[in-house]
Amino acid sequence: MAHNTFDDGATYELFMGRWSHAVGAIFLDWVKPPKGARWLDIGCGTGVFTELVLDTCSPATVVAVDPSAAQIELACNKPVGRRAHFRVADAQTLPFADGAFDVVASALVINFIPDRPRAIAEMRRVSHLSGMVAGYVWDFAAERSPSGPIRLGLNQIGAKSPIASGTEDSRLEGLISLFEKGGLQDIATRTIDVTMSFPDFNDFWRTQNVVYSPPR
């Protein structure tokens, strides 16, 4: 079974880029990863989180993977493409040796992976025995995502919006269960609240319209 993929990297970055940067910075400050670590960024998209890791965590190396070739191509053509190793790969079958990384992280991706238990098992497999596996997602179950206000509005007028993939595992309880079943230990969780300001409604709508516009 394949991932849900976001094949238009530029459009996805317009919609999610600023949010990814804001929440990723808070997340990294919380987990406090060790310096000089070997990183694997799973579901890297256009490299926003990858770049945050490089700028703030002093890693030894960073490998970043995504199932979308279009996203990887865009990341490789950005300045971050010269600082990390980007490649197309599936989180459910990671092409790396056991214990190859000190930190395995997944930003805003886990709920979109079809076989999430398998992906968590893979994340654990490629992490060092003393390493760290970490991830975060939007709480789609509570409509706490960048598109949440519009989704709630659509639902209120009877225009039901599609349920996000993996919504049932987007709450803290769901993530804890996934990590426990994956054999991870010393699991810690927290809620991250992030607020984004827009200069005007048109700027906000421009970022949302790429999601809610009908296909051409």
Range in 25-34, 142-151, 170-179, 184-193 the model is least confident about: 142-151
Establish how many alpha carbons lie within 13 A of residue 75's alpha carbon, considering only the half-sphere containing its beta carbon: 29
For residue 196, give every residue at least 6 positions away whose Cβ sits within 8 Å of its Cβ, in sequence order, or none: 18, 19, 22, 146
pLDDT surpasses 80 at 214: no
Mean pLDDT, residues 4-14: 54
Mean pLDDT, residues 175-179: 93
- Dist CA 215 CA 40 (whole Å): 33
Write the pLDDT tens digit of every residue in 112-134.
Answer: 999 999 999 999 999 999 999 99
pLDDT surpasses 70 at 154: no
Q: pTM of this prediction?
A: 0.80
pLDDT surpasses 70 at 109: yes
pLDDT surpasses 70 at 213: no
- Dist CA 43 CA 17 (whole Å): 14
Domains by residue range for the chain, with CATH: 9-184 (3.40.50.150)
- Dist CA 82 CA 99 (whole Å): 25
pLDDT recorded at residue 75:
94
- Dist CA 203 CA 77 (whole Å): 26
pLDDT surpasses 50 at 1: no
pLDDT recorded at residue 216:
28
Range in 96-110, 154-168, 185-199 the model is least confident about: 154-168
At 144, the pLDDT band (50, 70, 90 cuts) reads low
For residue 40, give every residue at least 6 positions away whose Cβ sits within 8 Å of its Cβ, in sequence order, or none: 62, 63, 64, 65, 94, 96, 100, 101, 103, 104, 105, 126, 127
